[in-house]
Amino acid sequence: MCDTGHAHDHGAFGFLVDTPEVRTLIDEARRQMDGFADYPDRVEALKSAFAQLLASDGWLPDDFAMPDSASRMGGGIGQYALYRAEDGSLCLFSLVVPAGASTPVHDHLAWGVVGVYRGEQRETVYRRLDDGSDETRAELEISREQSLRPGDLYALIPPTDDIHYVKTVSDTASISIHLLANDTACVWRHKFDPDSGIVTPFRSGYANAPCVE
């Protein structure tokens, strides 16, 4: 078990939230991963099942929809595992961003789909201008910004759509649901400072499940 910075570890893998809505999405994700090699095609094929999850009420427990005072992302941001494949090939998690809070600028290192479940967010996506040969620095520029409301979906596809940050712009916390083709909170990824160009190794950890060394 890694040091996640949290004392309240529950189950580690499989369905940490086991509802028909979550199982339907994971089953569909597995089918599309077997059927499509192209990441954009996988994302497109998953939109219907993902939209059904976002439109359903009552499946997300309150414990997975609250801020986290021990957050490694800062600002009380809570990251809660809903499903984790033991081989690290797929995860589903909720991300709770309190009102007025922002995530760091970060990457994901895997393709995925994100949808807003509650609240409203502003997403800023960056493109990398350098060749990535220096792991400690990056030259970034904003490629797009978008406002997101409940039910809105967007893709994360490296390398062009993988670096971003989100800010909650609603009066209450926003909750987004993330489906990614890795064990996102437990892989070492990167935080970026667009002004200074500094890149920092980053592992966010889940609030409700341990990482395994």
CATH of the domain at 53: 2.60.120.10
pLDDT of residue 41: 86
pLDDT of residue 39: 84
pLDDT of residue 11: 60
**Residue 153 within a domain:** yes
pLDDT of residue 173: 96
pLDDT of residue 198: 97
pLDDT of residue 182: 96
**Residue 6 within a domain:** no
Domain span at residue 85?
14-202
pLDDT of residue 137: 96
Distance of CA 1 to the CA centre of its chain: 21
**Residue 138 within a domain:** yes
Q: How would you list the strands of the sheet with 112-118, edge to edge?
A: 14-15, 78-84, 91-97, 174-180, 112-118, 153-156
**Residue 104 within a domain:** yes
pLDDT of residue 5: 36
pLDDT of residue 209: 93
Q: Rounded to an integer, what distance in angstroms lies between the CA atom of residue 3 and that of residue 148?
A: 33
pLDDT of residue 212: 81
Q: Are 143 and 187 in contact (CB under 8 A)?
A: no
Domains held by the chain: number: 1
Q: Rounded to an integer, what distance in angstroms lies between the CA atom of residue 92 and that of residue 65?
A: 14
**Residue 211 within a domain:** no
Helix (H, G, I), strand (E, B) or coil at 49: helix
- Per DSSP, 206 falls in state -
Going from the C-alpha of 18 to that of each of 25, 33, 45, 81, 92, the distances in angstroms are: 11, 21, 22, 11, 12
**Residue 173 within a domain:** yes
**Residue 53 within a domain:** yes
SS (H, E, C) 67-109: CCCCCCCCCCCEEEEEEECCCCCCEEEEEEECCCCECCEECCC
- Give the pLDDT of the chain (213 residues) as one tens digit per residue: 333 333 334 468 999 999 999 999 999 999 988 877 788 888 888 999 999 999 999 999 999 999 998 888 888 999 999 999 999 999 999 999 999 999 999 999 999 999 999 999 999 999 999 998 999 999 999 999 999 999 999 999 888 889 999 999 999 999 999 999 999 999 999 999 999 999 999 999 999 999 987
